[in-house]
Structure 1
C-alpha cells in the first residue's frame, strides 16, 4: 500500500481533501441505509429562507438540533442555520471503501449519559458495546509489550502513585459544585494552577504524568499546560448525573465508562435523524455573519440571507461565537471568557484490516504507549466486525509532533505504533484514513474548548447567562458531561427551556 494515500490499495485514490471532508446529509444517510424525508422536506442547501421565525438556532450540531426539535415540539417556528454542508458539528461519520461506517468525530456513549441515550432511543439509533474482550497492551520504558486486564497497566513503579492520584482527583471533584465551580473555597488557588503543574506537584514519579497524557491528549487535545486545574475538577465532577457523583474512572474507562458503547450506524446517525425530522427548518451552507438585537426582535444575517426572530440560540464552538459581528457588542466579560476557551489540537487516525486480527491473539485492541504517534488506541471496528479497525488519537504535544509532518510520514508512524502494540500485521492495512479537527474551519480543533488558568473564577459565571434575546447552547455550556454528546443534548434542552419560559 502506498504511503501517500488514505484509501485502499485496489481503489483509485481520491484527493486527501475528499477523504477528510464530511459527507453531505444525503450522502451519509445513503451510506447508512437511511432515507431522508421527502425531497421537499429535506434540509435545504440552497433557495430562500423564511423572512421571520420565532427562534433562529445558530449551529446544526447535536446541541442546536436538539434545541430546535424541542422548540418545534412546543409549537414554535424555528430555523437552524448551519455553516457547513452537513449537520452534526463535531459528530461526523466516515464511510470506509467497503461500506462500513466508523466515526471521524465524537463516537462514544456510556452510563449516566442519560440524555444522549434517551434521545438515541427516541430516534431509533441503536448502540453496541465497545469491544473489550481479551487483554490490553502496555508499552513503556523501551520494554516489550505487557498484557494486562483492568484499567491500570501492570507497572509496579507507578501503581501506588497512580492510585493515590486518582483517589485525590475523585475526592476534589466531588467537592466541586457542578453548577458553580468558582464558589469553591480554594477556587482561586486551583484556577491559577494549570493541570500540568498540579500533576507535577502531586505525583511522585514522572512516569505517572506520562501515562496521564494518554487521557489528556484525546480528552482535551492538550497536555494540560493550558487547562485550569479547577476546570479539570469540574470536568471530572460532570462525569456523572444528578444521582451519581462524577469520577475519573467513569470519564476515562471503556467498559462502564465514557467509552462504553458506540452507535451501530455511527454517531452522526443521531443528528442526521434529527435533521430529517426538522426537514427544511435546517439550512446548510448558511454561516452566520452578524447578529443584531433590538428591543423586540433579533436580525440574523447569514450567507443564505437575513432572518428576523424573537429569540436566538447560539450553539457553536466558542471560537466561532467571537467570529460573529455582534450589535450591540457581546458583554465584555463574556468576550473575555470566550477568548480564554481555546479548542484543543486533535486528530483521529484509523487503520483498516480485513479482520480484527488482534482478537485472534486474545487482545482487546486497547493499547497504551509512552512514546510514538500512538499513545492510546481502541478497537474501532464496526458492530459486525466485517473489517477490523484500530483507532489512534493524536492530540496535544503528539499532534504538534505528528500533525505537521507529511501524510506519508504520519501514516508510517501510526502504523508502526499499532505494530509495536499488536504485532507486524498492523503494518499492512487495506485502508488508512484520518481526520484532523484543526483543519475544520467551523470548529478549529477538538474535541472540546477548555478553560485556561484564571478564566473560570474571573468569567466562568457568564457561561450560560443570556445576552438580551440570545441564549447559549453547545456542549461547553452543559454542567454534566461537557465535551460529550450527552452535554450537547443537555445544553440544547436547557436553552430551549429558557426560550419557552420567556414566551
Structure 2
C-alpha cells in the first residue's frame, strides 16, 4: 500500500497551494486530481477549447488587489504579470427586446478588476512547478475514505478503472464541500449536520456557463465601447471584453439561461443566439468571429452536482469548523467555499489553503 504523510484531494488553486506549501516544509505530500489536468475550475483555453498557456479564462478570471490582498500577495510571490480589465469606453445596456440598446459612460472605478497575463492558469502553472512531478497524480479520483487506526485509507480510481489504496496520516479535501459529499463515501459516515452543511453549500461557478466570441481585432474599442454590457433580454446577461494581454481579441458573457434549458437548447442554438445578441449590442462585426467557445460548468461532473443545476446563491462565510466527530483529527477542508473571507473567489481558495497548511504545521509541531 502506498503511503504519505498528507494526501491533498483536488488540484485546483487551493489544492496546489496547499501541496506546494507543505512540500516546501519537507512534508511528504501526494496531490490527487481526478482530471487529466490541474486547475479545477481554473481553465485557460485557446480558441479550440484546449488548455493553453496564453488563452481565455473559461472559469474565474478576475481578482481585486485592494479588496483581496491574499491573491495580490500570491501573484507577487509567483512573479506573475497582471493587467487591468478594459474599462475604457461606453457601457451598453439592453433593457427590453423592443428597445434599442443604450450606451452610457460610467464613472471612474475605485476598485479595478485585474487579470493575469496568459490567463488565470498562469498561477496554476507556477504553483505546479514547485511540486515534484512524481507526487502529482492526475486522472485519479478518490471514491472513498475510511478511518484507520493511524490515518485514512483512500480508495482511488484511475483511468483504467482499476482501484488502488493510498494511506495518509492526514487528508486535505480541496474540492467543493457539495461535490465532496456527493461523490465520496466515508466510513464512518460524516455526522448528519456536517454532511448537510456540505450538501447545502453552493459551489462557485457550478451553475454557470460562459460564452466567448474570438475576433481578429477588438472592433468595439474603435467604436468607443468598453466591451462591457448588461442585458435584461439575453441570452447573455453580463458581457465583458476578454481580450488577452497579448492582444487576442474576444468578448465573453455569462448566460442567463438555466442549466436545464441550456441542455435542452443545445450548444449550437445557444451560440447562434449569443452572436445575434452581440451584434445587437456591438454591431454586425460581432457576427463574424474567428471562433466561439461555450463552457457549461453545470455539465461538468467534476465541478457540479445535480443540486447545482437549480442555481443558488454565492457561498457565504460561516463557522470555520467544517469537519466534526471522529473525522475532525484526520480531515481538513480547503476549498474556496470554506474560506472565512472571500469564499467562492480566487482569494478565498488561497486563504482556505493557508489555513489548512497552518493547521497541519500546528498538528505536526505538537507531535
Regarding TM over 0.5, the answer is: yes
Match of 1:260 in 2: 113
2:349 is equivalent to residue 495 of structure 1: no
Name the SS of the counterpart of 2:292 in structure 1: strand
SS in 2 for 1:86: coil
1: distance between equivalents of 2:262 and 2:156? 36
CA distance in 1, matches of 2:358, 2:271: 46
Cα deviation code 1:93-146 (max 9, x no counterpart): 111259851111111111322122221222222111111111111111332221
Matched, 1:289 2:143: yes
Q: Is 1:379 matched with 2:241? A: yes
Instruction: Report the secondary structure of 2:129's partner residue.
Output: helix
Conserved 8 A contact 2:62-2:114: yes
Instruction: Name the residue aligned to 1:35.
Output: none
* Residue 306 in structure 1 maps to residue 168 in structure 2: no
| Equivalent residue in structure 1 for 2:229, among 360, 367, 378 | 367
State how far apart, in whole Å, the 2-side matches of 1:405 and 1:72 are.
46
User: More strand by proportion, 1 or 2?
Assistant: 2
Whether the aligned pair in 2 keeps the contact of 1:437 and 1:445 (CA below 8 Å) is no
Q: 2:79 aligns with which of 104, 124, 130?
A: 124
Alignment of 1:320 onto 2:166? no
Match of 1:133 among 72, 88, 95: 88
Query: Which one of 41, 47, 57 corresponds to residue 90 of structure 1?
Result: 41
Give the equivalent residue in structure 1 for 2:328: 467
- Maintained 8 Å contact 1:312/1:469: yes
With structure 2 as the length reference, what TM-score do the two structures score?
0.87
Conserved? CA contact 1:367–1:378, under 8 Å:
yes
Q: Secondary structure at the match of 1:84?
A: coil
SS at match of 2:15: helix
SS at match of 1:312: strand
Q: Name the count of aligned residue pairs.
A: 346
Q: CA deviation at 1:271?
A: 1.4
User: Which residue number in structure 1 is paired with residue 21 of structure 2?
Assistant: 70
Task: Give the aligned partner of residue 60 of structure 2.
Answer: 106
Cα separation, 2, equivalents of 1:464 and 1:329: 12
- Specify which of 373, 376, 388 is matched with residue 249 of structure 2: 388
**2:303 alignment partner in structure 1:** 443
CA RMSD of aligned residues (A): 2.8
Partner of 2:102: 146
* 1:71 Cα deviation after fit: 1.3
8 A Cα contact 1:318 1:449, kept in partner? no
Alignment of 1:425 with 2:278, yes or no, is no
Query: Counterpart in 2 of 1:115?
Result: 70
d(CA) in 2 for partners of 1:381, 1:479: 33
Q: Is the 8 A contact 1:345 1:399 kept in 2?
A: yes
Distance 2:172 2:30 in 1: 10
After the TM superposition, which of the residue ranges 104-113 and 461-470 deviates more from structure 2?
461-470
Q: Secondary structure at the match of 1:375?
A: strand
Segments of 5+ residues of structure 2 without an aligned counterpart are 159-163
2:126 to 273, 284, 302: 273
Secondary structure of 2:155's match? Answer: strand
C-alpha distance in 2 between matches for 1:460 and 1:416 = 45
Task: Classify 1:255/1:440 alpha carbon distance in 2 versus 1 (closer, same or farther; 3 Å).
Answer: farther
Alignment of 1:339 onto 2:192: no
Q: Take 1:456 and 1:132, find their aligned partners in 2: how far apart are those partners?
A: 28
Higher relative contact order (CA 8 A, sep 6+): 1
1:478 aligns with 2:331: no
- The offset of 1:456, in angstroms, is 8.5
1:475, 1:489 within 8 Å by CA — same for their partners in 2? yes
SS in 1 for 2:86: coil
Pair 439,400 (structure 1): closer, same or farther in 2 beyond 3 Å: closer
Name the structure 1 match of 2:161: none
8 Å contact from structure 2 (residues 178, 200) kept in 1? no
Gaps spanning 5+ residues in structure 1: where? Answer: 1-49, 152-253
Secondary structure of 2:243's match?
A: coil
The alpha-carbon deviation at position 255 of structure 1 amounts to 4.5
CA distance in 2, matches of 1:479, 1:452: 19
Of 477-486 and 119-128, deviating more is: 119-128
Shift of 1:451: 11
Q: Which residue of 2 aligns with 1:166?
A: none
Task: Return 459-468 or 355-364, whichever deviates more.
Answer: 459-468
2:320, 2:48 → 1: CA distance?
47
Q: Tell me the secondary structure at the aligned position of residue 150 of structure 1.
A: coil
Residue equivalent to 2:9: 58
Change (3 A) 1:402 1:417: farther
CA contact (8 A) 2:316 2:343 kept: no
